[in-house]
Structure formats: C-alpha cells, structure tokens
Amino acid sequence: MGIDGGTGGIRVGLYDRSGNCLSFAMKEYATAYPRPGYVEQDPADWWKTLKETVSEALNKGQISKDQLSAMAFDTTCTSVVVCRKDGTPLRPCIIWMDVRAAREAEELFEKTSEFYSPEWMPPKLAWLKRNEKEIYDAAEVFCEYQDWLAYKLTGKWCMNNNTACNWAYSINDGFSRKIYAALDIEDALDRFPSSEVYRVGEKIGELSAEAAEYLGLNKGLPIAQAGIDSSIGLLGMGINRPGKIGMITGSSNLAMALNERPLLNPTGSNNGPDNLIRGYYTDYVAQSASGSILSWYRKQFCADLSYKQLDEEAEKIPIGSNGLILLDYFQGNKEPYHDNKVKGMFYGLSLAHTRADLYRAILEGVAFGSERMLDVFRDKGVKIEEMSIAGGSARSDLWMQIHADVSNIRINVPKDTNAPCLGCAIACAVMLGIYPDLKTAVDQMVSYEKTYYPDPQAHQRYRKIYELYKSFYPAAKDWMHSFTDTYNDI
C-alpha cells in the first residue's frame, strides 16, 4: 500500500511487486487561506481522509487486508505540525506553500548568507516564536506531516532523513546549529523527534493496534519509510541515476535530478548527499503554484465543467491564447528568483477574451514557469533532452504537448501517473527484501505509457513568447515589491 499525503488530499494505491497498480482511490481534504500567503490544514482532516481512502482502495480492488504485505507513505514538505507528545495539534498545520515567514527567511540570509525558503522549518518556527509565543512555548513536538502520520500509525516518534533535509539537517552531519542560533530558536532542536532517524526504504515500525482498528487493517503490518512527495515521486517516475530529469506535478511543479556532485545546493544541507538514493545529491527546482492555479480557476469560474471539457475548449485556441499571457507567481516565485513579494497576473485581457482563452493561458504560463526551472539546470551544464512527468497534469494530453513544445524536449509519462504512490510501493519492496536497493526496485517496477514529441514550428512560436515572459520579472520587480509593501502597510 502506497499512501500519498498531497496538498489537495490523500491518494492510496495498491501494487504488486512488478509495480502494477491493482487499485487506486483519492479523496480531498480542506485547505484554509486565512490571509494572502498563509496556508493551513487540520491534521484531523488528514487522519479522517486516510481512513476513508484506505477503505475505498481496498473495496475497489476487492482486496483483503490479509493480502497486504507492507505500507509506506509520503507527504508534503515542509508542512509544520506543532503538537503534544500524544500527537494532539496545538494549532492548524502551517503547510509547505505558506510563505508567512518571508521576513525570517530574509533575516536568516542576512545573518548567515545561506538561502532558506520561507516554506522551510527554521523560518516558520522563528515566525511562530515571534507571533504565537504561547503556542511555541507549549509545544512538546515540532515535526512534519510525515512524522506526525508516522506517530499516528506506529505510536512512536521518529524523524525522516528525506524530509528533514529542509530543517537544516543532514544525516551525515546532524543539525546546523548556527541556523537555529541565528533565529534564536535553538530551543526547538530538543523538541524534534530526532532520537530515531530512518532512510527511504528502511522499516520504521509496525501498524499499532489502535491505528489498525481505525483503518480496518491488520495490527503489525510492516511500515517502510518514504518521504517528501516529490522525492518519492521521483522514484515512481523511474529516476534512479544521473542523466534523467523528473518533474512531479500537482499543486506545484518540482523538477529534480540526481547528481554525483551538488549542482544547485542553495543551503549546503537540503540536497544531500544520501537524502534519497545513497551516494547521490538530489538537486531540485520548483514552482510555487501550477496545478493549484488551474484548480483555483475552475472552482471560481467554471466549476460546472470537467478538466477534460476545458481541455477540449482550449485545444481550439491558438498558441499564445489570443494575446494572453499568465504570470504564474500566485504564491510568489521559487525559481530562479526566490521572491515571495511578487504575485500572479494575466496580461492582455480584453472584452473579447473567453474562459477558454484564460484556461489555455494558464496551461501555457505554467509551462513557461517550468521552462524557467529547466533553464536553471541548463545554466549548470545539464543537458536536457527528455523529462519524465507524473501527477495530475500528466493526464492532460494538451498540457503535456504544450510542455514538450515550450521546452523542445520529449516528455515521458509513466504508466502509473500517481508516481508518489508507486514510489512508496518501491520503498515497501526494498524493505521487504524483494529487491536489494532502490535503484533495482525502480528498474523493475516503473514503465512508461506515453511519449510526447515537440513540434519544431510550435516551439519557435512559443520561444518568442517565452522570451517576453522571462523579461517581465526584471522589468516589473520593483513595482511589484512596492505594491506588496504598500498593501501590507495599509
């Protein structure tokens, strides 16, 4: 059983040892946006939704709980849970895409010259100490969605090597105390569940009697460590050695590559080595918002239509969306600017534009943002000829073709687009000894269903628009910052 705790909900997949999906279920949970840049979820919703989704996956596949040999799970990162030792949260989870700690991240950079995203653990804990000190002081455990779920399933606290990379932690060197000292949160280090740390594919424990009864599973089911949804999705896309690029899509897009030396390494700890597959650094670049923009648009303006219907309308719209372009900074920019003061926009709107024009502009704008990410790899000498894509957007033939045309590369879509769930199954197979290591398990359990080839003429047309997309940030950055600062001071 592979469990994917994503931004929008829980996905559960049941797999055989060859990587064939025997059953799959998905259910959504709520996300709250208390203020611009603030994003929260209730851990109780995760637990309730997990129960419902596990039950549905078993029923759909007509699979008995006695047939399950192991379980693993991945989650979003860094989604900070503040709780008691018994797992009771003291406040809603500040999920990964929350950027309220932008000032703390800027302060950290000024003091240490190390870049830490406002999404990561240290800036968020500093924000919490400064703004909700009673809750900070009352907390007995600071952890992540991943660690909280491990506790709920096994009854013991432990830490995940893969997720803790965004805590200024390396399994080889431990915590970087200077980062915590710079933000005056050294006292948080004693409240991390760091007494036991597990790597991807290692056994973290067994399903407790209480969790087994709640989920309708057998007590003692072995549980393997997985990790960050995007990292585990990398395994499920077939990325297990240098020379391959994988992009996991969903609420955001994240492109990753395994390398024998660090290429991007903004912090010195968050990419390894050994965070995922031993011996490799995990370099990645990200968009703050991608599929979440599409979800926002559909829910707000055309909830009566399916994505398939919207794709069919957008297919009839020419390249360039009839003069519209989307800036995909709806949750700020991650790559290459790491700027949380900028926001998204449509440019070119007229009274002649239709919902299909706007929809296609979103598909194209997100593809431009993804191409900007790939340029970061190219600038470091990485030659990109193809990329594997998995996640929700991989179900759209139109969107995949737009990606291929914008970036002028082949796009491979795995047979199972729910790559994080398959990645969890891969971790299970290694824990059970079915395969000796993650590399071998990936080779045996991942296959591809579709390949999209770029159209040279379409690429040339997109290239002209993309160059304008790239030029917008340098031209408008100061104005966007001024607007954000003015709004925040009102």
Q: Where are the domains of the chain?
A: 2-231
Query: What pLDDT is attached to residue 34?
Result: 95
Query: What pLDDT is attached to residue 254?
Result: 87
Strands 345-347 and 386-391: unpaired
Query: What pLDDT is attached to residue 265?
Result: 62
Among positive and negative, which fits the CA dihedral 426, 52, 250, 261? negative
Q: How far apart are CA 124 and CA 188, in angstroms?
A: 11
CB neighbour class for 134 (10 Å; exposed up to 12, middle 13-18, buried from 19): exposed
Cis amide leading into 454 (omega within 30): no
CA 390 to chain centre: 12
Output the six-digit token pair for 302. Answer: 């055309």
CA triplet 30, 1, 429: central angle to 5 degrees?
Answer: 135
Task: Please report where in the chains the tokens 């970087």 appear, as a residue.
Answer: 176
Output the six-digit token pair for 325. Answer: 């372009």
Query: What pLDDT is attached to residue 267?
Result: 53
Q: Which residues have C-beta within 8 Å of that of residue 345, sequence separation ≥ 6? A: 326, 327, 329
Cis amide leading into 273 (omega within 30): yes
Output the six-digit token pair for 253. Answer: 């897009």
Going by the DSSP 8-state scheme, the letter that residue 253 receives in this structure is: E
| pLDDT, tens digit only, all 490 positions of the chain | 999 999 999 999 999 999 999 999 999 999 999 998 899 999 999 999 999 999 999 999 999 999 999 999 999 999 999 999 999 999 999 999 899 999 999 999 999 988 888 999 999 999 999 999 999 999 999 999 999 999 999 999 999 999 998 899 988 889 999 999 999 999 999 999 999 999 999 999 999 999 999 999 999 999 999 999 989 999 999 999 888 899 988 888 989 988 888 887 655 556 678 889 988 988 888 898 999 999 999 999 999 999 999 999 999 999 999 999 999 999 999 889 989 899 999 999 999 999 999 999 999 999 999 999 999 999 988 889 899 998 889 999 999 999 999 999 999 999 998 999 999 999 999 999 999 999 999 999 999 999 999 999 999 999 999 999 999 999 999 999 999 999 988 8
Residue 479's identity, in one-letter code, is W
Q: How far apart are CA 358 and CA 362, in angstroms?
A: 6
- C-alpha distances in Å from residue 78, one per residue of 107, 167, 373: 19, 8, 20
What is the arrangement of strands in the sheet containing 281-287, beginning at the earlier edge strand? 281-287, 253-259, 245-249, 386-391, 410-414, 448-452
Query: What pLDDT is attached to residue 271?
Result: 66
Query: What pLDDT is attached to residue 192?
Result: 98
Q: Which residues have C-beta within 8 Å of that of residue 95, sequence separation ≥ 6? A: 7, 31, 39, 40, 41, 76, 79, 80, 145
Model confidence pTM above 0.75:
yes
Please give the backbone phi and psi of residue 349, each rounded to the nearest 5 degrees, phi first: -60, 135
Residue 265's identity, in one-letter code, is N
Output the six-digit token pair for 382. Answer: 């990485």
Query: What pLDDT is attached to residue 22?
Result: 97
Closest listed residue to residue 462, CA positions, set 360, 337, 333 = 360
Among positive and negative, which fits the CA dihedral 248, 264, 325, 339? positive
Among positive and negative, which fits the CA dihedral 17, 18, 24, 30? positive
- The CB-based long-range contact list for 337-342 (8 Å cut-off, 24+ gap) reads 337/473, 337/477, 338/115, 338/117, 339/473, 339/477, 340/37, 340/99, 340/102, 340/105, 340/118, 341/102, 341/480, 341/481, 341/484, 341/485, 342/473, 342/477, 342/480, 342/481, 342/484
**CATH level 3 topology of 2-231:** Nucleotidyltransferase; domain 5 (3.30.420)
Q: How far apart are CA 470 and CA 476, in angstroms?
A: 11
Strand blocks (E) in 319-457: 325-327, 345-347, 386-391, 410-414, 448-452
